[in-house]
Amino acid sequence: MTQANVLIDSQGRVLRDLRVSLTDRCNFRCLYCLPETEAAQNFYRGHWAHMPDSAPLVQQWVPKSNLLTFEEIERVVLLAVRWGIQKIRLTGGEPLLRHGVEDLVARIAGIPGITDLAMTSNGFLFLQKAQALRQAGLSRISFSLDSLDRENFRKITGRDGLAEVLDGIQLAQQLGFHPVKINVVVIRGLNDHELEALTDFARQHNLSLRFIEFMPLDAARAWLKEMVVPGREVIQRLQTRFDLRPVASDNPSATAKRWAFPDGRGEIGIIAPVSEPFCGHCNRIRLTADGKIRTCLFSVTEHDLRSHLRGGAGDEALGQWLKEVVWQKEERHHIGEPDFVPPTRSMSCIGG
């Protein structure tokens, strides 16, 4: 594939990874994303004298008429693959809330050139959809699991759903999804006391666990840097108890620094966008559920693809437009810097 046939930005980064959000709606109210529950408000009030009021307490969802149809999503993916995208991850909100999601998976799985088709889910509905998703061609699944304690899980997510998520993880392994990944957003004073228990869980069940630093993507704009547990602190703690050995990566665009147990059973990864940004090798682009292109998770600008799709633009015109948008990809995010401005939309609306 020549340089003319790839999506490349002004920093020389070649994009290979497209994150596609299927919906902004979610059946969880996670404290770090949609902190609408009383428990979430109480937690943040412990850190703020006066809670920020820059965002509404109750999320306003995108009108369904503005959500991209499956036909539109398939067209975008086809176009992106033509321009060098190889990996597709379906996200949300909660992607399993999108009716007929397995049909979209089948459409995308049939596109030549895709080397990896994955999904990120909170897992609550996975038991209902697992078999259909596997048969449709989904190859990998990542679950959010921020606590192994039922009450703490409820506090973080706003839902009593730990049992369903744990059953979903087990079923995913039985159905042959590999690797099955677990994402844990670590927040100081909330679930950082569970680091060792979660690591032991990954070890026992042969899972790929990812500890992720808390990022400023919550709808309440209540994020504070002191709530972040730096990735370096996480791994130092774990190494005092577990024999963890670094895993060399041949992928410079990988988001996680990885460690494995000596017998290869289970793996730990640290994703540290706040304390150790990996922007220099970022090869990702995002499509929101309502058809906006985001060139960075923390973009303050969104590019309206939906209007071009529904305005009759041909594939050649769309491809040229996409190349121009990608060229504008930000050099880096500015978390922790004086001029940092958080995105106007929460993680649920942006897509993971």
Q: Express each pLDDT in 271-321 by its tens digit.
A: 999 999 888 899 999 999 999 999 998 888 899 999 999 999 999 999 999
* pLDDT value for 89: 98
CATH architecture of 3-350: Alpha-Beta Barrel (3.20)
Quick: pLDDT tens for 78-117: 999 999 999 999 999 999 999 999 999 999 999 999 999 9
* pLDDT value for 53: 61
CA distance 163 to 90: 23
What's at 187, amino acid-wise?
I
**203 with 265: CB under 8 angstroms?**
yes
Pairing of strands 257-260, 267-271: antiparallel
Query: Listing from the earlier edge strand, what are the strands of the sheet with 257-260?
Result: 245-247, 257-260, 267-271, 208-213, 180-186, 140-144, 116-121, 87-91, 17-21, 284-287, 292-294, 303-304
* pLDDT value for 319: 95
Residues of the chain under the 50 pLDDT cut:
1-2
The dihedral sign for the CA sequence 249, 254, 256, 260:
negative
* pLDDT value for 1: 46
* pLDDT value for 341: 78
* pLDDT value for 219: 81
Q: Roughly what angle, to the nearest 10 degrees, separates helices 70-82 and 315-327? A: 70
Domain boundaries, the chain: 3-350
